[in-house]
Structure 1
């Protein structure tokens, strides 16, 4: 059935769908492909953990048995649902995310205060990545420069991080204004 829907011969591989094909795809094809990709990604992370711990020897960092935490990957899913990535990374030692407020490559050049757009704020995007029982790190975050409202970035991010018990925040490439 999926080969017919994809328009390929019975012995040909089914190509991955492109985003513009999602709406027209049957539920079976859409969810089967999503499950396949999630399984491949999760399998890679599982194999990489085993390689790092068992073959390379990333073991105890000190005598009391503290282990190195492994971050599978960072959630970069600004405007798409992040649940498939969360399913793939749920066994990681740390859950990680990156976020930028009004990144020009994604949103075009804008200059909106984050407090005027809470449903799209960096806090909303980051909060959906947190997992119960897992350390949460924001290993790359910033508000683009120049931005008239960049003074809001650190207080807002730090306040919500404290409220939601996040573990780390790393700002990326902070710049000073001239003058």
Structure 2
């Protein structure tokens, strides 16, 4: 099976995003577009990034867009002000439910967690369910340097952006799904 570099999929009617830098150019394998079972398609692995520091999470197929808090919701979009950059800064910590995974702590002392299929910020209630919903395991991405984040609570479901919203969706073996679920964990925005 051969792979070739290709630009991330365009959304209908929207211009293609700026090309990623050479070190971040995506390599999308060709695959059958049929969905796979809910079981994770990726090998189980440890964390590729050290925890403890402040980070931002950037989309790979929309390079100017970052995760940021908008109230309790986590959105994807550009950072146009100092307040937006603060809202896009998280502390990467060992996963609350699995130390080989990640949790994302907010400045307000809460954590990002998957609730009702969407990524939101919330306070840790100490329950095992919250800890699982706030834990995401890094998996290799089809994009060079990218990371996909699989839910510790729902095997085979990954965070992906759907427009400006961040959803927890079952894995689909499509170029668009792989592009929308690829993120870079980068230093906090300046």
TM interval, short-chain normalised: under 0.3
Instruction: Give me the TM-score of the superposition, normalised by structure 1.
Output: 0.22
Relative to total residues, which structure has the larger strand share, 1 or 2? Answer: 2
User: Which of structures 1 and 2 has the larger relative contact order (alpha carbons within 8 angstroms, sep 6+)?
Assistant: 2
- TM-score, length of structure 2 as denominator length: 0.21
Larger radius of gyration, structure 1 or 2? 1
